[in-house]
Every structure is written in structure tokens, then in C-alpha cells.
Amino acid sequence: MGVSYEVYAYKNGNWNIDSVYDDRDMAMHEARMLLESRYVSGAQVIEEKYDDETGDTFSKIIFKERKGAEKRKAAPRQKPQAKVAPAKAKPPPKKKEEKEFVRYMVILVLSVGGIALGLIVGLAFLIESLG
């Protein structure tokens, strides 16, 4: 099976073939060099495998980078990893909230109760003094 590496340059909104290599390292090096040119805004390397027996050609992008875009690595593509369900948010600390609530209610009852008791005593004292 024959292998060649085609380097493409992105110029004026189009991918154009730039050069052809029989050596992966040379192609990768040239693609990176191309990216330094002010006339080029992206570079990619396509690996072409040709099966002499069947005549089939297999192409695969092994490097692709655009200036200003997020850099992609030169390594072969990896299989997408299985999706992982997002971690559930931590449950709120219920016990602590409940304790705060109970404490609040006790204070409220005692306060209202105290005021009511004061009013009743005051009222009784007033009736006693008037009567």
C-alpha cells in the first residue's frame, strides 16, 4: 500500500494543495512552516493511502490548524469518549436549614407569647386599678 502526504494551505477562503511528500515528518514540518507565512491562514495534512491491488484510496486528515482558531493537536483522531452524565448538584444541607428554621420559630413563638402575656398582665392590672 502506497502512502503520500498532501499539505494544503488555506488562502483567501480556500484550501489549496501546496505540496506532496512521501514522509509524514516532512509533511508535518512543512505544514507548520506554512503557518508562519503571512499569506497563509491555515494548514492541513492529508494522509493518502493507495491500495495497489484494489485501486482504493483512503484519505485521513492528520493535522489541521487555522490561525486564530483553537489549536488542534497533530495526533490521530481519537474515538469520541462515551458521554458521561453530568454530576448532580450537591444536595443542600437540609439538616442545618431545618435547625435554623426550628430555632427561628421558637424565638418567634416566645417573642409573640411574651408580648401577649405582657399585654394580658397589663390589661388585668389596668382593670384591677380602675375597678
Partner 1 sequence: MADEPPRGMERRLVHRVLHHWRGAEEERGIPSLKSFLARDLGDMRPALFVLKVADDLEEPEVAHIGQSFLDEVSNDLVGKPISAVPDGTLLKQALAFYSRVVAKKVPITLGDEFVNARGQTILYRSIILPLSEDGEEINFLLCAANCKVKEEES
22 interacts with partner 1 by CB under 8 A: yes
> For partner 1, which is the closer residue by CB, 75 or 84?
75
> For partner 1, which is the closer residue by CB, 37 or 111?
37
Is residue 14 within 8 A of residue 62, CB to CB? The reply is no
Is residue 9 within 8 A of residue 15, CB to CB? The reply is yes
The cell 482504493 sits on which residue? Answer: 56
30 interacts with partner 1 by CB under 8 A: yes
11 interacts with partner 1 by CB under 8 A: no
- Please spell the DSSP secondary structure of 3-24, one letter per residue: EEEEEEEEETTEEEEEEEES-H
Write out the residues near partner 1 by the rule CB under 8 A: 17-23, 25-26, 29-30, 32-33, 35-37, 39
